[in-house]
Amino acid sequence: MSLNPAQREAVEHDQGPMLVLAGAGSGKTRVITARIARLIERGTRPDAILGVTFTNKAAREMAERMVPLIGRERTEKVWLSTFHSFGVRFLGEESKRLGFEGGRFVIFDQGDSLGLVKDILRTEVGVTRNVDVPSLMTRISLWKNAFKGPDEIPASTFEYDAIAREVYPHYEDRMRRMHAVDFDDLVVLPVRILQQHEDVREKWRARFRYLLIDEFQDTNKSQLELVRALANSLHNVCVVGDDDQSIYGWRGAEVGNILDFEQYFPGTRVVKLEDNYRSYEQILSVANAAIAQSRGKRHGKTLRAARGLGDKVRLVTTNDATSEVEFVVNEIHDLAQNHRIPYKDMAVLYRSNGQARILEEELRAGGIPYQLFGGTQFFDRKEVKDAIAYLRVVVSTRDELSIRRVINTPPRGLGDTSLDRIAGYGKLHGLSLFEALQRAEQVPGITEPAKRGAELFTQCIEQARTSLLREGAELVPTTKRLFEDAGYTRMLSAGADKDSKRRVENFGFLMRSVERYASAPSAGKASLSVFLTRLTLRVDNEEEVAGNKVTLSSLHSSKGLEFPVVFFIGLVEGILPHSRTTDPKVNEAVLTDVDEERRLFYVGVTRAMNRLYLTRPLRRTNRGRVIPLTPTRFLGGLPPEAYEAYTGRGRERTSVQETADFAAQILAQLNAK
């Protein structure tokens, strides 16, 4: 494997902590895989190496690259996983420390957590007015990621902070009673167990001789604490990342983790990867100039192009947002038809998802195929979530949230009133909701249809549970029978409209997923619990760019991707940096700073390989009023020799002098603010 000097230094480092500052497109995956291969070739057991990434896709890519180096057998023994996948494996071994019955637990996704918070607001806190539930959940998630328990949250005068502070202990209590964990718990709970139980800590430290953490700039406080808890006395911790690409502060990422790594692990060797193999020099000069203007602390580095000079960046000014989109679509059509550039090689990036709506309309009108990256996920669709809820109740009858989701799907006469009465009866007699449903005939005020509905539901769940516990039970027929007995299959098939057919197709896809899992050689004795865990962990906003389609993506979703041609739109103040940064509201759940917004700009620019368009509208109209727009401050200070200014009309290039004048105009507008 060919390595440049900096890459080789990172690969050949033997003992002690190391920080690899890997700029965009600098070959960090090659370095990580080569380092693991070298450690194994020098005698380290594969299962003594833990490699942690943020996505399953990244973990798979690492494994695929390692197979030619060390063989499939040794590759499969290396612990390559996401933080959340590691947490599942850890809790699977140590769940007795949490008091979970039989060591089983269910994993709540974001939708489940939101549903639980809504119920707590109604039943425990008594908030009846409309509340921004996602904002409350964001606050709780940030507290957990910062490693703060319910009793560590200070009082606040901010309304939403006060409500979230009241909800948080109820949320944690309900989760534990249901033997449920959320995604944040998959990191927080292992850390708490490791910190509180010395025997567990020593066991896991002895298991791993080397730790390698990818995308370290995206780690939060709890993830940092997990790394510290697992690190043995040798401190063989290698972290790879780029502080210039730290863009997830809004979900708890701490850029200070990578900036201050040397304080956490004294004696750290620092290696900088600055040779970029992705983009041409003109693109990198724009990226370097923009990020160099950051005001906060950063590890200084400058990307160097390995591919040559390339075309100048095209900076395009249009009259308004409509003409901006028209320009982009016309240019895509021209590149595809006249330059033979496939649609899949082109992407349009934007700061906020709302910017995609007008793009979609124009692309559809132009007959250009596209795909939204970071849009609605398959597993977020109602019929899929309903089916998964049924399966989760089979795994754990304590999963009250899933019970409430499907108890009346299809209708069984069990509306909210009946269900609340049954739940109240259960609370009075120390029963779970499922146990109370089994005794529905004893609950005062419950109608006969509701009693029959409760009986039907609990019977089909118990039947499935009994079947799966039998020796030699088969997963696929059991799950099919469950949905038939529950009337769910019949309900989905009842409609004849287009939406009904789509729901049937989606449900069929889920069932085929069950079949694929059960028939896989690695499945062994197929477990419904393991299947659901795998299903939950793959719903981590990972999507594949597939087919010959233009990709539309937010800047946050684009990280880790690359495209030969990139259109970066909406480069005006208020969009980038976002108005939440420059004019925050009191109840904003998360405030980002301007430096993080600048890093977003840097990430967008460095997605481009061959050709980059930076576009901005001059004005917008609001209720008949024309409002001039200021170019984003991130365009100020860019080297004029690296770009050409264009107008959106007919894609006309301006003169060299006009380009210089344009740069001066931007600076003047920015200085006037």
* Cβ neighbours for 576, distance < 8 A, ≥ 6 positions apart: 351, 570, 597, 600, 601, 632, 634
From the list 7, 33, 53, 245, the catalytic residue is 245
Measured between alpha carbons, how far is 287 from 604 in angstroms, rounded to an integer? 9
Measured between alpha carbons, how far is 445 from 461 in angstroms, rounded to an integer? 24
Distances (CA, A) of 52 to 86, 130, 161, 344, 623: 8, 40, 33, 29, 51
Annotation marks residue 215 as catalytic: yes
Closest by CA position to 104, among listed 185, 174, 181: 181
DSSP 338-369: HS---GGGEEEEESSGGGHHHHHHHHHHTT--
The residue assigned the tokens 């800590």 is 201
DSSP 503-555: HHHHHHHHHHHHHHHHHSGGGSS--HHHHHHHHHHH-SS-----SS-EEEEEH
From the list 28, 74, 385, 633, the catalytic residue is 28
Closest by CA position to 402, among listed 416, 388, 419: 388
Cβ-based neighbour number of residue 483 at 10 Å: 22
Annotation marks residue 501 as catalytic: no
Annotation marks residue 385 as catalytic: no
Closest by CA position to 355, among listed 601, 559, 569, 592: 569
From the list 214, 244, 386, 597, the catalytic residue is 214
Cβ–Cβ under 8 Å, residues 257 and 219: yes
Cβ-based neighbour number of residue 544 at 10 Å: 8
Locate 364 and state its tokens: 């559809």
Measured between alpha carbons, how far is 52 from 227 in angstroms, rounded to an integer? 10
Burial class (CB in 10 A: 0-12, 13-18, 19+), 212: buried
Locate 237 and state its tokens: 């911790």
Annotation marks residue 498 as catalytic: no
Annotation marks residue 214 as catalytic: yes
92: left (phi over 0), alpha (psi -120 to 50) or beta: alpha
The rounded Cα 68 to chain-centroid distance in angstroms is 29
Structure letter (DSSP) for residue 249: G
From the list 174, 385, 607, 616, the catalytic residue is 607
From the list 8, 9, 29, 93, the catalytic residue is 29
3-state secondary structure 362-403: HHHHCCCCEEEECCCCHHHCHHHHHHHHHHHHHHCCCCHHHH
Look at the chain and count its residues. Answer: 673
Measured between alpha carbons, how far is 171 from 192 in angstroms, rounded to an integer? 18
Query: How many Cα atoms sit within 13 Å of 204 on the Cβ side?
Result: 25
Torsion of CA 577, 582, 586, 587, to 10 degrees: 0
Angle between the N-to-C axes of helices 356-365 and 321-338, in degrees from 0 to 180, rounded to the nearest 10: 50
Burial 166-194 (b: 16+ CB within 10 A, else e): bbbebbbebbeebbbbbbbbbbbbbbbbb
Cα three-residue angle 322-327-330, rounded to 5 degrees: 120
* Cβ neighbours for 173, distance < 8 A, ≥ 6 positions apart: none
Residue 373 pairs in a beta bridge with 553
Locate 242 and state its tokens: 């780029």
Annotation marks residue 652 as catalytic: no
First to last CA, the chain: 52
Closest by CA position to 48, among listed 70, 21, 74: 74
Residues classed as catalytic: 28-29, 214-215, 245, 607
